[in-house]
Structure 1
Amino acid sequence: MVSRPHGGRLVDRVAKDKARDRLVREVMEMPRIGVDSIMASDIANIAHGVYSPLEGFLTREDYLNVLAEGRLSDDVPWTIPIILDVAKEEIAGLREGDEVGLWVSGQPIAVLDIEEIYGWSRDEFAQQVFGTRDAGHPGVRLIAKRKDVLLGGKVLLLNDLPEPFTDVRLWPRETRVLFREKGWRTIAAFQTRNVPHLGHEYVQKAALTFVDGLFVNPLVGWKKVGDYRDEVIVAAYRVLIEHYYPRDSVVLSVLRTRMWYAGPREAIHHAIMRKNFGATHFIVGRDHAGVGDYYGPYDAWKIFEEYPDLGITPLFIREAFYCKKCGGMVNEKICPHSPENWIRISGTKIREAIRQGQRPPDTMMRPEVADVILRHPNPFIEVEELG
């Protein structure tokens, strides 16, 4: 059956009806803290239960426990600290117990009940979460730009963010209802920050063989330079599902959050979020959430051994490639032929072909998917932004 929410309860911190009307008026008189689009997405994910059991930004005890143990202070698995950073001058005069309005792009988004104000070490965060302090790591660069003080406390969402992908944007309460309506008892979730190639399709369909339905949940939000733009990823998945997947076997919905590129720790984080959407299984790829050579290709598989209480079943499916003798996509476990017959899928080669205005080989990517990408005037992120 659909999985239980992480921590046992699906969080709902969305202000409703009269309470919302009152807070919308009161927030105009509260002290204001501006947040960027990355933080605004975290607020929405807290409020709508994507980050269950979190009801707000981590207080000090939970923050330190997540860094040191990969768990909240009550021992619930949690590997990426969800924090709200502010500059000292932004909180001058504020005390623990105060309420503040959180604003993005000139509009109030939420109210924060400040439970704790505390300092943090960006170097410690980087070392514990990413396993490195090297500024060549995109997650380390992102954290280095964050501010000096952290605020912990519960949030109450007043307004949802504008959503460009309204027809493929579902919250956990909605996916759980949808999965039940479809009669799916087992659901495999797939995390991606890329457009789909044949290797992704192979992995997804291999998982679909063993479960009732597939939940394709591409990440839209902050990513590094060279990654695909959100609208390109969504368009590519739309056409792939339309042409190559059985009707009613797949649900496509975007997840608005940042990429951390934290390798093993982020694999657990990705699994927890999909558990909250109702998935019972989670596909863990080779070098999941990795970047460069900071992590071993199967480190993200090994970390799941530390979390037998995670409550979602990892699916470890080997990397796929095209075998000329087999005449299709296979992996090393099922292909008897020698490597000279293999055509490995290279994301770098796919990007090079696209940058030159050419279709990647049909042994790497579906032509319909390639054509969707090629129609976009600039499919890649060119400038690294904070939020």
Structure 2
Amino acid sequence: MVSKPHGGRLIRRIVAERTRERILSEQHEYPSVQIDHGRAIDIENIAHGVYSPLKGFLTSDDFQSVLDNMRLSNDLPWTIPIVLDIKEKTFDEGDAILLYHGNLPIARMHVEEIYTYDKKEFARKVFKTTDPNHPGIAKVYSLGDYLVGGEIELLNEVPNPFAQYTLRPIETRVLFKERGWKTIVAFQTRNVPHLGHEYVQKAALTFVDGLFINPVLGRKKKGDYRDEVIIKAYEVLFEHYYPKNAAVLATVRYEMRYAGPREAIHHAIMRKNFGATHFIVGRDHAGVGNYYGPYEAWELFDEFPDLGITPMFIREAFYCRKCGGMVNAKICPHSEEFHVRISGTKLRKMIMSGEKPPEYMMRPEVYEVIRSFDNPFVE
């Protein structure tokens, strides 16, 4: 069966049209708060159930429990604080406020709590470091001094240039059911596919009914592939190398935190809400730099036997000249001299210099898609 949503029920926090019209007609009567793009996307994910069971931004009890125990205060696994920060208090607990991104009213929020917090504690417990050079920590240190907890109601979404590729959990669940899939493995990515990714995906697909490839679109660090490049690369891979009835490609908007092991758990919960029963946990999943061990995320899953989605730990693939194909350390008996590692960094350098990667690293069709863009990378 398609997995149950995290917490047992798929959350939907979207106001009825008549209520929306009334709120918007009275919008100048509400205290207002400006939010950045990442918080607007968090609201979208709350409203559509991607973050089930959250109905809004964390209150202090849940926030502290997530920091200390990697669980909400009701003991449900939850590893990444989903919070709204403000620089100063311009409203009170019990108020209803409107959250704006630019001139666009995104959501009405019912303020349950306004509280202070320790940014260094936030950084240390979530990211396992307080190094300001870590992009996730730089973001934490830039937050306001107060956090606001309470439920939200979605009014509008930030325009989505990739709406045709976007499916909500309520839609993927219907799609998986229509296809007759009872077991679904999800793959999270923020990169274009190379042969190592394809090997891992197809190895996992061998054991389940369907593969759900769910690229993350949104704010990325410099040097990452641009969103449209990732989508087009996967489209051509699907066209030429994947069985038509065995895989689905759909995107999700999400701001990467680069929190390593904790974020791997969070990514699994998100895909559980989409209906996946299994989740591929990658090497250095959601990591950045050298802050986390390559398989540290695998170990953290042992602490969550009640997660409700099965992690699939498939070792990093490489090309073996002796085997004559893609393998991993568990199935290849040959020494390192025969192994060619497929490094995303190395592939990026080759592509930047105009060098075509060998076909055992990247499908030629994927390379041609990347090359068709003037600049395929985030600047």
* TM tier relative to shorter chain: over 0.9
Contact 1:27 1:111 in 2 (8 A): no
Shift of 1:292: 1.4
Shift of 1:21: 2.1
Q: Which residue of 1 aligns with 2:26?
A: 26
Distance 1:256 1:81 in 2: 17
Deviations 1:44-103 (A, max 9, x none): 000000000000000000000000000000000000000001110xx32x1101011111
Secondary structure in structure 2 of the residue aligned to 1:113: strand
Shift of 1:106: 0.8
State the AA in 2 paired with 1:70: M
Of 108, 112, 125, the residue aligned with 1:128 is 125
- Answering whether residue 217 of structure 2 is matched by residue 220 of structure 1, we say yes
Q: Which residue of 1 aligns with 2:85?
A: 85
Q: Percent identity?
A: 63
- Answering whether residue 147 of structure 2 is matched by residue 150 of structure 1, we say yes
Q: Which residue of 1 aligns with 2:309?
A: 312
Shift of 1:235: 1.1
Distance 2:158 2:47 in 1: 12
Distance 1:333 1:244 in 2: 25
- Of residues 75-84 and 145-154 in structure 1, the stretch that sits farther from structure 2 once superposed is 145-154
- Answering whether residue 11 of structure 2 is matched by residue 11 of structure 1, we say yes
Q: Which residue of 1 aligns with 2:334?
A: 337
Distance 1:256 1:246 in 2: 26
Secondary structure in structure 2 of the residue aligned to 1:6: coil
State the AA in 2 paired with 1:82: I
- Answering whether residue 361 of structure 2 is matched by residue 364 of structure 1, we say yes
Distance 1:32 1:101 in 2: 5
Q: Which residue of 2 aligns with 1:302?
A: 299
Contact 1:27 1:100 in 2 (8 A): no
Secondary structure in structure 1 of the residue aligned to 2:148: strand
Contact 2:40 2:157 in 1 (8 A): no
- Of residues 115-124 and 181-190 in structure 1, the stretch that sits farther from structure 2 once superposed is 115-124
Deviations 1:273-326 (A, max 9, x none): 000000000000111111111111111000001000000000000110011121
- Answering whether residue 371 of structure 2 is matched by residue 374 of structure 1, we say yes
Distance 1:178 1:26 in 2: 38
Distance 1:214 1:18 in 2: 39
Secondary structure in structure 2 of the residue aligned to 1:143: helix
Q: Which residue of 2 aligns with 1:385?
A: none
Q: Which residue of 1 aligns with 2:236?
A: 239
Contact 1:343 1:363 in 2 (8 A): no
State the AA in 2 paired with 1:106: N
Secondary structure in structure 2 of the residue aligned to 1:191: strand
State the AA in 1 paired with 2:10: L
Q: Which residue of 2 aligns with 1:38?
A: 38
Distance 2:261 2:153 in 1: 31
Q: Which residue of 2 aligns with 1:159?
A: 156
Provide TM-score, normalisation by structure 2: 0.98
Shift of 1:32: 1.1
Distance 2:346 2:316 in 1: 17
- Answering whether residue 64 of structure 2 is matched by residue 67 of structure 1, we say no
Distance 1:4 1:291 in 2: 31
Instruction: Give 1:231-270 correspondences, 5 Å limit.
Output: 231-270=228-267
Contact 1:50 1:277 in 2 (8 A): yes
Distance 1:353 1:101 in 2: 47
State the AA in 2 paired with 1:77: P
Distance 2:133 2:31 in 1: 37
State the AA in 2 paired with 1:113: H
Deviations 1:240-260 (A, max 9, x none): 111110012111111101111
Deviations 1:141-179 (A, max 9, x none): 121111111110000001122111122100000000010
Instruction: Give 1:189-204 correspondences, 5 Å limit.
Output: 189-204=186-201
Please, which runs of 5 or more residues in structure 1 have no aligned partner? 383-387
Q: Which residue of 1 aligns with 2:138?
A: 141
Distance 2:17 2:218 in 1: 29
Distance 1:163 1:110 in 2: 16
Q: How many residues align?
A: 379
Of 96, 104, 107, the residue aligned with 1:107 is 104
Q: Which residue of 1 aligns with 2:269?
A: 272
Distance 2:366 2:288 in 1: 24
Q: Which residue of 2 aligns with 1:174?
A: 171
State the AA in 1 paired with 2:58: L
Secondary structure in structure 1 of the residue aligned to 2:283: coil
State the AA in 2 paired with 1:85: D
Q: Which residue of 2 aligns with 1:285?
A: 282
Contact 1:280 1:313 in 2 (8 A): yes
Contact 2:135 2:258 in 1 (8 A): yes
State the AA in 1 paired with 2:8: G
Provide TM-score, normalisation by structure 1: 0.96
Secondary structure in structure 1 of the residue aligned to 2:26: helix
Please, which runs of 5 or more residues in structure 2 have no aligned partner? none
- Of residues 224-233 and 34-43 in structure 1, the stretch that sits farther from structure 2 once superposed is 224-233
Contact 1:281 1:315 in 2 (8 A): yes
Deviations 1:225-247 (A, max 9, x none): 11111111111111111111001
Distance 1:137 1:109 in 2: 29
